Amino acid sequence: MELGDDRLARRGVRLLAKRDDLISDEVPGNKWRKLKYNLTDASARGASTVLTFGGAFSNHIRATAAAGNLLGLATIGVIRGEERLPLNWSLASATARGMHLTYLDRSTYRRKDHPEVVADLRRRFGDFHLIPEGGSNPAGIRGCAEILGEVDENFDVVCCACGTGGTLAGIAAALRPGQRAIGFSALKGGRFLEQVVVDLQRATFGRPTDNWRIECDFHFGGFAKKSPELQHFIDDFAERHGILLEPVYVAKMMYGLFDLARCGAIRPDTTVLAVITGPAEGPG
């Protein structure tokens, strides 16, 4: 869909939106994209349980719980940090959909991919199909690469938010010649994501592409941080376009897109596709 906005029109920039946030109420946006082939792989190997990782407010944790509930799979969520009771709304939502929660202290969590940590989880929980934090592995990247196949209009640049790099890795691999992708890090110090995207593309497609970059100046203080300026942008965007931008990832991407157009980093006569990967969520 096209979003007419005078702020961009004055700069000669046309804005299209890919509403992946509307895929599903339970498993929206890039969460479904990343889980699609991970769960297909789990079923193919006959797994009855999937285990994954995330923080206490992780969209990925909630989406995995919901998808497992829909497909009849048992789910285990390994949560960063100590257990806090009562559960917050996010973890309560996951448990309501049947997910079993366990916790790793932050030091151990940083080593969650190490064989000895995974082996200990297998000793505790038996056999399971492991999905990495955020679902960013070759199976998840293959799912994200399908996003652009659903876009009929021509565009020059595609923008998406970056948390674990998987969505950008998949989207960039699906671009046509001459098109480019910009990822907007939701994390402070997100430059490390450049190597993550390279590694994900190499693992999935055999080689990285050179048609993308990551903007690291629009994190607004760090992951899940939000300033009055960002909130004003969210409110104004909702009033103009009837879309409430999710604040952790999507709003920062959209703000960055507008700022790049304002300063000329996105050139006039450019058509930009913004991938809205998730809905605004919260308690109630």
Please, what are the averages of pLDDT over each run of 10 residues along the chain (284 residues)?
95 96 82 93 94 92 95 96 94 96 97 96 97 94 96 97 94 98 96 97 98 97 92 97 94 98 96 89 41
The pLDDT assigned to 262 comes to 96
CATH code for residues 6-23+138-276 = 3.40.50.1100
The pLDDT assigned to 97 comes to 96
DSSP state of 110: T
The pLDDT assigned to 281 comes to 56
Number of other residues whose CB lies within 10 A of the CB of residue 281: 17
Residue 81: strand, helix, or coil: coil
Cα 213 from chain centroid (whole Å): 16
Instruction: Report how far apart, in Å, the C-alpha atoms of 158 and of each of 10, 37, 93, 128 are.
Output: 20, 23, 32, 36
Among the listed residues 207, 208, 162, the one whose alpha carbon sits nearest the alpha carbon of residue 188: 162
Q: Show the tokens assigned to 58.
A: 């992780």
The pLDDT assigned to 223 comes to 84
Instruction: Report how far apart, in Å, the C-alpha atoms of 215 and of each of 83, 104, 225, 261 are.
Output: 34, 31, 17, 13
The pLDDT assigned to 100 comes to 98
Strand runs (DSSP E) across the chain, as ranges? Answer: 13-19, 49-54, 74-80, 100-104, 129-131, 157-162, 180-185, 212-215, 270-276
The reply to whether domains 6-23+138-276 and 48-127 share a CATH topology is yes
The domain made up of 48-127 has a fold known as Rossmann fold (3.40.50)
The pLDDT assigned to 282 comes to 43
Phi-psi category of 175—alpha, beta or left, where left has phi over 0 and alpha has psi -120 to 50? beta
Between CA 277 and CA 243 the distance in angstroms is 12
First to last CA, the chain: 28
In degrees, rounded to 5, the angle at the alpha carbon of residue 276 between the alpha carbons of residues 27 and 273 is 140
Instruction: Report how far apart, in Å, the C-alpha atoms of 266 and of each of 117, 180, 181, 205, 258 are.
Output: 44, 11, 12, 28, 9
What are the extents of the domains in the chain? 6-23+138-276, 48-127
**Judging by DSSP bridges, how do beta strands 13-19 and 270-276 pair with one another?**
parallel
